Amino acid sequence: MHVDVVTIFPDYLTPLELSLVGRARRAGLLDLAVHDLRSWTQDVHRTVDDTPYGGGAGMVMRPEPWGAALDELTAPGRPPARLVVPTPVGERFDQAMAQRLAVEPRLIFACGRYEGIDQRVIEHATSRMPVTEVSLGDFVLFGGEVAVLVILEAVTRLIPGVLGNAGSLDEESYADGLLEAPVYTKPPQWRGHEVPEVLRSGDHGRIARWRRDQGLRRTVTRRPDLIAKLAPEKFDKKDIAVLQAAGFQVSAADMAE
Ligand code: 5OB
């Protein structure tokens, strides 16, 4: 996958040299280029922002440097790309979106700062390429750079060859729509706290059922919205008993055989 990131703070993206994302780059699985938006400015002050039309606090990113940057990065002969714009008004990022982005041949990330990018940049880009405005959740950041770090880490680990162990991808949280059970390692006793007996039993059937129950209990208390999204036929009788014991209202239709 080829990725371009355009930002006024290229140094914010240096963590992408580290860890497994850095290894994916060195392995040639991820081809990443970070660009300074100011290199597409024309004036001596390298201005990227101005006051908002209609008034209000803060500054807005001017369209001209963004237009020049996107023109150059999408010039004829370059591979077609999807533009990804992190913004609190975007479509909510989740594992399903990470999976869709992971199969794109090329992504261009546009990092906004201040109150955002002049909307005409998004409108114009939409006439030339697929565009996704992405939000990480209902909170405010100074700019899109850290959101790009999050999105790229989620996407990179889904690129074939990046994760050694293929099984770990579908066993993890969200693969079955539930949060995962707690995990433990040695020692078996630590500061008076014990590893649950079932995990040391060697009984793989019991262990799988225990993990399912723990995942259900966590999900119902911490993320009831995820339970509500699951199809009723995904729950067996034991699941329904666990959900009811946790105080979750299971409808009569869900309980039908
Ligand atoms: N808040 N997701 C939630 C976001 C965000 C802010 C951003 C980008 C993505 O930039 C200001």
Q: Which residue has the higher pLDDT, 217 or 160?
A: 217
Mean pLDDT on 220-224? 96
Whether the per-residue pLDDT at 10 is higher than 60: the answer is yes
- 147 CB within 6 A, ligand 1: yes
Backbone dihedral angles phi then psi of residue 126, each to the nearest 5 degrees: -60, -25
Residue with tokens 């300074």: 36
In this prediction, residue 101 has a pLDDT band, given cuts at 50, 70 and 90, of very high
In this prediction, residue 171 has a pLDDT band, given cuts at 50, 70 and 90, of low
Mean pLDDT on 106-114? 95
CA of residue 183 to ligand 1 center, whole Å: 31
Q: Are the beta carbons of 84 and 134 closer than 8 angstroms?
A: yes
Q: How far apart, in whole angstroms, are the C-alpha atoms of residue 102 and residue 53?
A: 37
CA of residue 148 to ligand 1 center, whole Å: 9
Q: Which of 7, 49, 87 to mutate to test the pocket of ligand 1 (most atoms within 8 A of CB)?
A: 87
Atom 1 of ligand 1: nearest residue by CA position: 88
In this prediction, residue 187 has a pLDDT band, given cuts at 50, 70 and 90, of very high
% the chain with pLDDT above 90: 89
Whether the per-residue pLDDT at 167 is higher than 60: the answer is no
Over the chain, what is the mean pLDDT? 94
**Nearest 5 degrees, angle CA 120-CA 74-CA 1?**
115
pTM comes to 0.93
CA of residue 88 to ligand 1 center, whole Å: 4
pLDDT at 122: 98
Dihedral-angle region of residue 204 (phi above 0 means left; psi in -120 to 50 means alpha; beta otherwise): alpha
Helices (H), the chain: 19-26, 63-73, 95-102, 119-126, 145-156, 167-170, 204-222, 224-229, 237-245, 252-255
- 89 CB within 6 A, ligand 1: no
Cis peptide upstream of residue 15 (ω within 30 degrees of 0): no
CA of residue 76 to ligand 1 center, whole Å: 31
Q: How far apart, in whole angstroms, are the C-alpha atoms of residue 24 and residue 161?
A: 8
In this prediction, residue 127 has a pLDDT band, given cuts at 50, 70 and 90, of very high
- How many helices, marked H, and strands, marked E, lie in the chain? 10, 9
Which of 37-46, 167-176, 182-191, 214-223 has the least mean pLDDT?
A: 167-176
In this prediction, residue 156 has a pLDDT band, given cuts at 50, 70 and 90, of very high
In this prediction, residue 250 has a pLDDT band, given cuts at 50, 70 and 90, of confident
